[in-house]
Amino acid sequence: MVGIRLASAVVTPLIKKLLRAEGAGAGLIDRPQRISSYVSWREKRGLDAADLRTLADRLVREALRAPGERPLPPGEEAGVAAALAVTLHALGDLTLSDVEAVRLGPAAFARRLRAAAPATGLSRDAGLFHDRLVDLACLHIVNLTRP
């Protein structure tokens, strides 16, 4: 299985764009919040579908620039980016709370997200690459939404 190594300095700002900006105050809450309440496109002020696709394109591009063996056959970049955008969009449909996501951990949270999204229809290698990007995104989402 191919891993993807990307610096947090590259990934964190991209993943933060998925999430709504915090309002006034410290953002402290007294009860769990649904993960879907964190996504910026649910507010109609944040990301739209084109922005989400641009973000997915950038994640794919950055992952392919990482040192090591190329984990994706040439010509499959656009398909992976499109599938990644659709999978990330499924964050808005999850009924998990932030507490549940943290308890699950990034790997199980990523599995839940992939299950909530439509099938990717990608080749085996492209599907594995997509899954690693989803894992990476979920790691950062769990850390950024930690209650």
**pLDDT-derived band at 30, boundaries 50, 70, 90:** low
pLDDT(9) > 70: no
Q: Is residue 24 part of a domain?
A: no
Contacts of 48 (CB under 8 A, 6+ apart): 41
Greater confidence (3 vs 32) lies with 32
How confident is the model over 112-138, as pLDDT tens digits?
Answer: 999 999 999 999 999 999 999 999 999
How confident is the model over 56-82, as pLDDT tens digits?
Answer: 999 999 888 877 778 888 899 999 999
**pLDDT-derived band at 24, boundaries 50, 70, 90:** very low
- Whole-angstrom distance, CA of residue 57 vs CA of residue 81: 5
Mean pLDDT within 24-40? 52
- Whole-angstrom distance, CA of residue 126 vs CA of residue 64: 12
Q: How far is CA 87 from CA 30, 56, 66, 78, 101, in A?
A: 29, 10, 22, 14, 16
**pLDDT-derived band at 32, boundaries 50, 70, 90:** low
Q: Is residue 117 part of a domain?
A: yes
**What tokens were used for 77?**
């970049």
Q: Is residue 107 part of a domain?
A: yes
**pLDDT-derived band at 93, boundaries 50, 70, 90:** confident
Q: Is residue 66 part of a domain?
A: yes
Q: Is residue 58 part of a domain?
A: yes
Q: Which of 31-40, 54-63, 136-145 shows the lowest mean pLDDT across its residues?
A: 31-40
Handedness of CA 103, 108, 113, 116 (dihedral sign): negative
Mean pLDDT within 35-58? 70
Model pTM?
Answer: 0.75
Q: Is residue 90 part of a domain?
A: yes
Q: Is residue 82 part of a domain?
A: yes
Tally of domains in the chain: 1
CB 100 within 8 A of CB 43: no
Question: Domain span at residue 94?
Answer: 8-19+32-145
Q: Is residue 105 part of a domain?
A: yes
**What tokens were used for 37?**
């309440």
